[in-house]
Structure 1
């Protein structure tokens, strides 16, 4: 079972966007702090009333946010 729920983070013009790597969750925030709180809320709502084991997720998982940097020109 997975103990970590991963999200890919990208920055748009006005918002940071988070997309779940293993769960169909998408959310956004104006700051990274707001985004982190929105991710927490979205995960809680997604799993509310569900058995996490049905999603191959351990109870009380951690969240990992992977931030995508713009292209680097070397």
Structure 2
């Protein structure tokens, strides 16, 4: 794809509508969600007396075991 000579003349000012919505709605929502998860993890770490990394590793291991069990169960059914 090549850009013509008058591309800048036809180009609208500002970002496109999808980019604007993404930048003003989606990204701030994901940042707020990540902050909430971080706060919840910190509070759980203080309450349980464990480091947050240990809690994340444990949760990751639990999810991996769950996924392996579901995968194995699916293979046995077919």
| Normalised TM-score (structure 2) | 0.30
Structure with more helix by fraction:
2
Bigger Rg over Cα: 2
TM norm structure 1 = 0.32
Larger RCO (CA under 8 A, 6+ residues apart): 1
- Between Structure 1 and Structure 2, which shows a larger proportion of strand residues? 1
